[in-house]
């Protein structure tokens, strides 16, 4: 039965890996396609970020430049929208779409978007939990072995805490999905409202953002598979101990 479970896990993980590979390839190919299409407004990624900040009365946020391609991100602690080299000075449909997406995150923070607040609150929890999860499971197994003759359940509960902490990583990826989708919706609305992209150009921008969303779906599914595997492993180990 254990071998059969492992085979199912390996197959599920393979499917997730293929989906992640496809999603990554789709993002780069779609971005590359619309990176060659200059937008009619002539606005660069930097121009777009500044324009959207002014239009939405955003204060205290700066636009920075980072190396790499598609390494764009919003750093709420430093108050900086970091645009990659492929976005910052580029006046393509793809560059404008990516810059607007990052501004979507800024607006989420400004407007107090619930899922954004939850994801932000989960960051320290996930960082803390990911470091303690495995040690707690191992500690639980050791305690279970030592106290087996006393029929104690302490080890099991300690290990279960480790599993719950590990589950925080899955919860984070689950919450990230609606956050990213909402940021893309905000981006398209802002681009249309400010006339930065025309209707036909917005279709291209939508394809770029939709392709990026696939990567988050793949990450969520992969995280779920690992969590379930970890959970089943703990139940199996303690089940075998208790059956002896």
Known catalytic residues are 102
Nearest-angstrom CA–CA distance, 166 and 129: 6
Sign of the four-CA dihedral 160, 161, 166, 169: positive
Nearest-angstrom CA–CA distance, 230 and 163: 7
- Quote the Cα angle for 30-24-68, to 5°: 80
Of 220, 229, 227, which is closest to residue 7 (Cα–Cα)?
229
**Other Cβ atoms within 10 Å of 34 Cβ, number:** 22
């Amino acid at each position: 039965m254990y071998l059969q479970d492992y085979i199912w896990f390996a197959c599920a993980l393979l499917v997730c890996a293929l989906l992640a590979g496809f999603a990554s390839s789709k993002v780069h190919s779609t971005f590359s396609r619309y990176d060659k299409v200059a937008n009619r407004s002539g606005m660069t990624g930097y121009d777009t970020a500044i324009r959207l900040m002014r239009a939405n009365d955003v204060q205290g946020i700066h636009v920075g430049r980072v190396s790499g391609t598609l390494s764009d991100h919003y750093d709420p602690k430093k108050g900086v929208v970091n645009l990659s080299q492929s976005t910052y000075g580029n006046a393509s449909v793809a560059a404008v779409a990516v810059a607007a997406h990052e501004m979507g995150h800024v607006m989420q923070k400004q407007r107090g978007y619930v899922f954004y607040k939850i994801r932000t609150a989960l960051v320290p929890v996930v960082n803390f939990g990911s470091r303690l999860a495995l040690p707690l499971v191992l500690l639980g197994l050791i305690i279970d072995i030592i106290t087996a003759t006393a029929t104690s359940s302490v080890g099991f509960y300690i290990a279960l805490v480790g599993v719950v902490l590990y589950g925080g990583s899955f919860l984070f990826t689950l919450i990230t999905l609606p956050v990213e989708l909402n940021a893309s919706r905000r981006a398209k609305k802002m681009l249309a409202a400010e006339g930065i992209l025309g209707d036909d150009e917005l279709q291209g921008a939508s394809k770029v953002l939709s392709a990026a969303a696939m990567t988050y779906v793949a990450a969520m599914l992969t995280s779920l598979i690992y969590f379930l595997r970890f959970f089943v492993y703990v139940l199996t180990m303690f089940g075998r101990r208790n059956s002896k």
